[in-house]
Amino acid sequence: MGYYNSNEPKGNKKGYFASSFTGLIAGALMVGVILPSVTDMELGSAESTSSPTESVSGLQTASTVVTTDVTEIVEQTTDAVVGVSNLQTAQQNPFASQTNEDAESQEAGVGSGVIYKKDGDTAYIVTNNHVVEGAEEVMVTLSDGTELDAKVLGTDIWTDLAVLEVPGDSITTVAEFGDSSVLQAGEPVIAIGNPLGLQFSGSVTTGVISGTERLVPIDVNQDGIEDWQSEVLQTDAAISPGNSGGALINAEGQVIGINSMKIAQDAVEGIGLAIPVNTAIPIISDLETGGAVDRPSMGVAILDLAEVPAQYRSSQLNLPAEVEGGIVVESVVEGSGAATAGMEAYDVIVEMNGEAVNSVLELRQYLYNETEVGDTLKVKAYRNGELMDFELPLTESIE
């Protein structure tokens, strides 16, 4: 699954969720009939004030101001959502006479961000990693058009989050984080961002939480292999290119998700995805204070056993025939926990703390979600056909 944003690299896309399309379309037809009344009920009834006016042609018209819960929430929170421009030096004509000093930074992509904190003269913004990836400069545009140079404090490729720092003099509105753990399917939400760039800055779409705790496979390095499974919120609020990094807001005006991606396929409508704010908060804290996420490391380079041809599994790894899944250790970092425990290249890991692991994806998910730096990890691995036990002290990852 790739990200759906204005600076998304082109490439092949895999068709996830294809098996559920029939039910999804049928459900969408039903929702199209009943959703308006449900949304009105959940978000509150509209209030309006009007006064008669007379047009130039003499026809009677009415000037009406309509106020709803949505308009009030948007008015309170929209200034906390900003535009984020990824600036990179344009590729120069090799035959041109201009020097490097003459090269100008150009907008390579644009997304959104959420102002979540102001401390003295400094304000902090959370956005997506893929919005600022590869940027030589980052420009933040406030809702009133003010442009600010931003400093990237830290990025995290695994959760697709990044934290920026900007001068806080001109910032007056800071978003409030809610609690994404209590969200329910059907709960109304509002998405605010910059679809298609700053031309449509501060765009508002509404919808509902379509599902919680969705697991979406992510190919981090675009090599066609799933590297991670991201836990996300699913919403039918419209998410378009440029919305990445924007706010998903509940009916209380609290940010409960950071918009991240959309399933972009011809047969799919209304499947937008956001990072739950409860998942994001500890990552944001690490990025703000240390520039990186403090994750445990085993100190090994690894690959899936499935990538090793069958003849080498028996001739070089000496694996029993019944072993079909596992992770092959390619190399061990000197001085690491794996080295301390006595692990070697060509060991095949099959179990961690009593849990079977069959792939690099499973190993990474367990290591990052279930363990911490300083823990001792109990590992079972095959070496020359013999199942061995190891105890690895986990150190801080250098990633």
Known catalytic residues are 130, 160, 244
Cα distances from 80 to residues 140, 175, 201, in angstroms, run: 12, 6, 12
- Per DSSP, 307 falls in state G
Residue 395 half-sphere exposure toward CB, CA atoms < 13 A: 14
Q: Name which of 191, 262, 272, 275 is nearest 231 in CA terms.
A: 275
Q: How far apart are CA 131 and CA 304, in angstroms?
A: 30
Q: How far apart are CA 131 and CA 6, in angstroms?
A: 9
The continuous run of DSSP H or E covering 35 comes out as: helix 21-43
The continuous run of DSSP H or E covering 366 comes out as: helix 360-370
What tokens does 254 get? 């609290």
Q: Name which of 369, 316, 374, 377 is nearest 349 in CA terms.
A: 377
Query: Do residues 388 and 380 make contact, with C-beta atoms less than 8 angstroms apart?
Result: yes
Query: Do residues 82 and 142 make contact, with C-beta atoms less than 8 angstroms apart?
Result: yes
What tokens does 85 get? 């421009």
Q: Max Cα separation, the chain?
A: 94
Q: How far apart are CA 360 and CA 83, in angstroms?
A: 36
Q: Which residue has the tokens 């403090």?
A: 294
What tokens does 321 get? 């025939």
Q: How far apart are CA 187 and CA 234, in angstroms?
A: 11
Q: How far apart are CA 206 and CA 240, in angstroms?
A: 13
Q: How far apart are CA 299 and CA 296, in angstroms?
A: 9
What tokens does 172 get? 């007056």
